[in-house]
Structure 1
Amino acid sequence: MKATLTRQQLYEMAWTKPLNALAADFGVSGNALAKICDRLLVPYPGRGHWQKVSAGKFQHPPPLPDAPDGIDTEVVISSVRSASRRPRSRMSESDRRRQIVDVTRQIIAASGTHAASMKRVARDAGISEAGIYNLFSSQTELFAFIARDELAQMSLVMQRELQRGTDPIARYALSTLAYLREVKEHGSLVQVLLTLPAVRDTLKKERVDRRSANSKAIGREMEAVYGVPPPIAEGTAAILTAVALRAGKLLTNRKTDLSIAERLTIPTAMASTRKIIATFGCRLTGDAAGQGI
């Protein structure tokens, strides 16, 4: 038997009956049909799906992703082996990694981290389970990669805001505002991932190092601009960082809203910083003096 199908047609047929039964209709093995689906990024039911359907537990199939670059949208399925085969065009490793990350994000957003098993992610991404393990050695590594990516994006936004400030206090205020707004927009995913002990342990050193670097940077500026002694400057910076992080955590846990977090965090931190500078600082720049510090 020989049949020419579009990806859409194959996708729809794959969710009407078990893959082995569908493969038999075409005169090919279930494994051969699964490989065709994997190559075309066509999701198909995993093990146990049809038993759940028989038990009355209907499950919506995942959406059909875009076709891989360089792959035809039609496929010929034949029980007769072709004499020659066209070379396959494979997705690059970076594109495949990004696809896996995007699919994992969608699963977590819809069903939580417990649903994002490596098998489920591979199935929804339309690749073999071995394929996903070639890029991520474990679920923890995959989750840590996503959390690291989210944190890096948030840090990027904060760094852009830092460059707009004219003095340490203004830079702190701008970066904290940017942080809180990023947390509101994207922080829930990071927070969910960091509730997992294995992910938290994986990222612990990186997060501690990043927090320490941020505190030291603020402390150095306070010392250079306002003459605050290094121990006091770094201590103040560490407290400012902790205040911002705490506000962000309350925000992601929905224990406060963005407007309240902004109104409480920024004025409190700035007033405290001005008090520290007035008490321990030994010199002021013209700009700082103009602000009434």
Structure 2
Amino acid sequence: MRVLILGGTTEARRLADVLAAEAPHVHVTSSLAGRVTNPTRPAGEVRVGGFGGPDALAAWLLAHRIDVLVDATHPFAATISAHAARAAAASGTDHFALRRPGWPADPRDRRHPARSLADAAALLPALGARRVLLTTGRQGLAAFAAPELDGLHFVVRTVEPPEPPLPRSAHILLDRGPYTLEGETALLLAHRVDVLVTKDSGGPATAAKLTAARELGLPVVMVERPPAPEGVPEVPDVRAALARLGLSPGTCPAAADTCP
């Protein structure tokens, strides 16, 4: 079996690691977009960079005799997921998405949904925001650089340096999860944050900020996920992905940090 994993996420790396270690009959290739300077490389074969669109990806799938395409990209990588769906259909390649669930709401949350980054920015004045922790990634920050938000101060946390334009008053914090509740609480207090803005990325690595905001009584502006391509089967975790590939549960080691 030849498997291509469109990766970059923790789940993608774990799936590749398990397949490489526990399924010798599977040849796994992971594709990374190349946007992170020093990514953690998964086991198996790794390629870096885009394919050049859905037609080029379809041709690559056929040329490399890929049996299964696993879209394990970030839940907000809508363009890549759409290209994967089109390429799989065009090439006749089996295809499914490994997509972790979003963060469940808690009755104690002060959560405000937003359909986009622009909608999230528009909500801030009505929430009385003065100091904002922004954890939406390094792209799309122009939405928070609007003149009507010039009176707000943003703590912008990203893995890589963010792309301009940036908010007029911004403190850039380069950091990578996983994060702890103690660390997130200390960050919110040290920067006197009164509103958290984030995407509904899901997963435990960055969930502590939501618990910290809840315990401090802070509002959270949550950008909703873009719609997934229609007709593409989804699985929520690595165990389910292994089952979808026809591998027995015993293939997945017991260690929680290897295969959740």
TM exceeds 0.5?
Answer: no
Q: TM-score range by the shorter chain?
A: under 0.3
Structure with the bigger percentage of strand: 2
Q: Which structure dedicates a bigger proportion of its chain to helix?
A: 1
Larger radius of gyration: 1
TM-score, normalising length: structure 1? 0.24
